Structure 1
Amino acid sequence: MTQQPEPVATCQATEYEVSILLEGDINRSVFTITVQYRGDGRWAVTRNGSCLGADGEWEFGIKEYDRGDAWLAAHRFDLDTALRLARQAAPHVVVNGHTAMDAYRRFLATP
């Protein structure tokens, strides 16, 4: 009987956090956008249950089974595109009427 080779463990990054706020900023988590791997080389740009589209608009609902092929085509990207879109959107994230840029400026102004 031929002995089967032992499987080799693989590692894969499946999520990135994108924010203009520094890692030590207490407000970073609420102003963070997430880029998540969705399989087949496609990534989603998400935040609080919403998904960023190629048009730069956030749309509620990120579950693939809730959406058709046209919606998925407009909301799933290669990694470079997903990260670029997330970086562009990051300064404009709004929480309680304040943008991430407002929070960034306040953090810099803190002695």
Structure 2
Amino acid sequence: MTNPVPKTAMTMREIRHQLGHPVPPPGVPDAEVLPVRFVVSSVPEGHNARHAYTINVHYRGEGMYSVGHGLAYADGDGAWSYEPSRSGEDDEHDADGLTWIAAHRFELTTALRLARRLAPTLTVRGRSVADVLADGSPTAEGTQR
């Protein structure tokens, strides 16, 4: 019995072409997909108050993400603060801004872990997530949760 000659594996481009899928022209790389926003909340989807109790994890470039609630952003310890304005003229102020940014940007897994930890602890106008869920607020569909 002879061993069959192994076939060379096909590239994804060759597979797509064989299946009749669109293939980028030669020299054009495949399109990149980049996750840029994640929504993290302990309030169920469809609940009227969900938007107020949602943390957004946003892509900020160079593989880094921010963890935001409204206009405030969390640092690695979970403390919320506002991003300082940067004028572009004052080197000392810009250095402070860059220090703030460094403390408020994370790799994706760290940002999502932080957002999941903070979501159940949000308080808006004196009402916690637990308060909102306990009061039986109606959902967008009009049913009680």
Pairwise TM-score range, normalised by the shorter structure: 0.7 to 0.9
Partner of 1:106: 135
Asked whether 1:55 is paired with 2:77, we answer: yes
| Aligned partner of residue 84 in structure 1, secondary structure | helix
2: distance between equivalents of 1:56 and 1:36? 16
2: distance between equivalents of 1:93 and 1:63? 25
Partner of 1:77: 106
Higher normalized contact order (CA 8 Å, seq sep 6+, divided by chain length): 1
Partner of 1:33: 55
Number of residue-to-residue matches in the alignment:
109
TM-score under structure 1 normalisation? 0.82
Structure 2 residue runs of 5 or longer lacking an equivalent are 1-24, 89-93, 138-143
Which structure is larger by alpha-carbon Rg, 1 or 2? 2
Identity of aligned residues (%): 36
Work out whether residues 65 and 107 of structure 2, in 8 Å CA contact, stay in contact via their aligned partners in 1.
yes
Partner of 2:119: 90
Structure 1 residue runs of 5 or longer lacking an equivalent are none
